[in-house]
């Protein structure tokens, strides 16, 4: 059974960097199939996809245009996890952040089938 | 970016009734990579349907998805008390992935 466990601070000051880690059990971050996503949810923006990382004989990233200049999603193969870093945060980045697996087999994609528990992040001084 | 518009915003029905939720895309969804999720308060979304019409593992057969191109539907036959929640559609055929704004299914 695949599980994702998130960890990270709940409060970040404006202009600083938001960092959340998603630890994977039951699957591998470097599996040559699916992808590892970050999504956030706020009352004003609803569910917003932020980006993903995936391995296809080398690592790729794919980011939403709205955060592309400020985001990094990095895999950590030694710990079987991946992380979100969002720089220069403002109160608009206040949201619940989720990691999620996007399963794929034989080049068919199955949607976001496993989610982390969510991390509520408030950006405030 | 593909914009997904869900309707209605709120649906009030009684247990045992049938629910029909709509999701319309601003452009055709590649490979019909359209998913539906259920979200309850304080919980992460749960995948119900992928590829427009395929139920995810463990999802009861009262949930069904249909549609292609730009028009998609989630139907829930014989509503159970635990089905009252918010439902989202999502397209994952083209980056950036996008979500609809949600339909709240409430008890009448």
Determine the pLDDT at residue A32: 84
Q: For residue B108, give every residue at least 6 positions away whose Cβ sits within 8 Å of its Cβ, in sequence order, or none.
A: B12, B13, B14, B17
Q: Which of B33, B45, B96 sits opposite A65 (nearest CB)?
A: B96
Q: How far apart are CA B75 and CA A67, in angstroms?
A: 34
User: Is A112 within 8 Å of B98 when comparing Cβ atoms?
Assistant: no
| Residue A49 burial class via C-beta count within 10 angstroms: exposed 0-12, middle 13-18, buried 19 and up | buried
| pLDDT 10s digits, B43-66 | 999 999 999 999 999 999 999 999
User: Is B102 within 8 Å of A102 when comparing Cβ atoms?
Assistant: no
Q: How far apart are CA B3 and CA B70, in angstroms?
A: 10
Determine the pLDDT at residue A107: 85
Determine the pLDDT at residue A111: 96
Identify the closest residue of chain A to B99 by CA–CA distance.
A47
Q: Which of B31, B33, B56 sits opposite A113 (nearest CB)?
A: B56
Q: For residue B38, give every residue at least 6 positions away whose Cβ sits within 8 Å of its Cβ, in sequence order, or none.
A: B45, B46, B48, B83, B85, B86, B87
Q: How far apart are CA B80 and CA A107, in angstroms?
A: 35
Determine the pLDDT at residue B92: 97
| CB < 8 Å to A60, chain B | none
pLDDT averaged over 10-residue windows placed end to end, chain A, 125 residues: 95 98 96 93 97 95 97 97 98 98 92 98 97
- The CA-atom distances, in angstroms, between A99 and each of A5, A10, A37, B94 are 9, 15, 6, 19
| CB < 8 Å to B56, chain A | 110-111, 113
Residues of chain B with pLDDT under 70: none
Q: For residue B100, give every residue at least 6 positions away whose Cβ sits within 8 Å of its Cβ, in sequence order, or none.
A: B4, B5, B6, B23, B88, B89, B90
User: Is A116 within 8 Å of B45 when comparing Cβ atoms?
Assistant: no
């Amino acid at each position: 059974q695949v599980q994702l466990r998130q960890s990270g601070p709940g409060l970040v000051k404006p202009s600083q960097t938001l960092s959340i880690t998603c630890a994977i059990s039951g699957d591998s971050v470097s599996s040559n199939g699916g992808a590892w996503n970050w999504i956030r949810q706020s009352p004003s923006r609803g569910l917003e996809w932020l980006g993903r990382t995936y391995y296809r004989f080398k690592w790729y990233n794919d980011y939403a245009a709205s955060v592309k200049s400020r985001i990094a999603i990095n895999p950590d193969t030694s710990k079987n996890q991946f992380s979100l870093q969002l720089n220069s945060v403002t109160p608009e980045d206040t949201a619940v952040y989720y990691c999620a697996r996007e399963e794929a087999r034989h080049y068919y994609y199955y949607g976001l089938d496993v989610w982390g528990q969510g991390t509520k992040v408030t950006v405030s001084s | 970016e593909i914009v997904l518009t869900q309707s209605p915003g709120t649906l009030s029905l009684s247990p045992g009734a049938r629910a029909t939720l709509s999701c319309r895309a601003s452009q055709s969804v590649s490979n019909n990579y359209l998913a539906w999720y259920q979200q309850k308060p304080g919980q992460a979304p749960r995948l119900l349907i992928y590829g427009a019409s395929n139920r995810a593992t463990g999802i009861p057969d009262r949930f069904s998805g249909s549609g292609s191109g730009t028009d998609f539907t989630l139907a829930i036959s014989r509503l159970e008390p635990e089905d009252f929640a918010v439902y989202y559609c999502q397209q994952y055929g083209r980056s950036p992935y996008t979500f609809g704004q949600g339909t709240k299914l409430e008890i009448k």
